[in-house]
Every structure is written in C-alpha cells, then in structure tokens.
Amino acid sequence: MEKKFFSESLDWYLKWFSSAMVLIAMSMRGIPELYMYDLVFSVVGITGWLGVSLIWKDRALILLNSCGLLFLLKNLLSQIVI
C-alpha cells in the first residue's frame, strides 16, 4: 500500500503544529525581552491543543488546555493593558 502525501487527519497536523508552537514558546521562556513572544506562541500552541482535545473528546485534556489558555490570556491581556 502506497502512502499518499498529506494523508494524515486534521488532528495529526494540529497536534504537531501546536507542539512546535509550545516548544518555541518554551525556548523563549526566561528571556525578559521575549516575554510577549513567549505568551503569543504559548497561546497559539495551547489553543491548538485545545482543538485537538476537542476532536479527541478527551475531557482531561480539554480541562487542562482550557485552564491553561485562560491563564495565558490573562497574562497576555495584562501585558497589553499595562
């Protein structure tokens, strides 16, 4: 059986893209000049993982990523407002 290019499902692409975003954010963590980039990449990555968890209907991941997204958005909004 020959495997076609781009034959994976949406959740497969979304989880890898989201994981890359979270890893990029983690690589910036602790560098004060990159704090906003860290937050933006984290929000994108966690939002993607929330999408994956909704596709999978995994309640533990939905809870984890929903709470994580709320915390990150609170920090992002407090940085924008201040």
The total number of structural domains that make up the chain: 1
Instruction: Report yes or no on 5 lying in a domain.
Output: no
Q: Is the pTM of this model over 0.75?
A: yes
pLDDT surpasses 60 at 1: no
Instruction: Report yes or no on 39 lying in a domain.
Output: yes
HEC string for the chain? CCCCCCCCCHHHHHHHHHHHHHHHHHHHCCCHHHHHHHHHHHHHHHHHHHHHHHHHCCHHHHHHHHHHHHHHHHHHHHHHHC
pLDDT at 3: 61
pLDDT in tens, 19-61: 999 999 999 999 999 999 999 999 999 999 999 999 999 999 9
Could you list the residue range(s) of the whole structural domain that residue 43 is in? Answer: 22-81
Instruction: Report yes or no on 17 lying in a domain.
Output: no
8 Å CB contact between 25 and 45: yes
Cα-based distances in Å from 70 to 2, 8, 9, 31, 43? 43, 30, 27, 22, 9
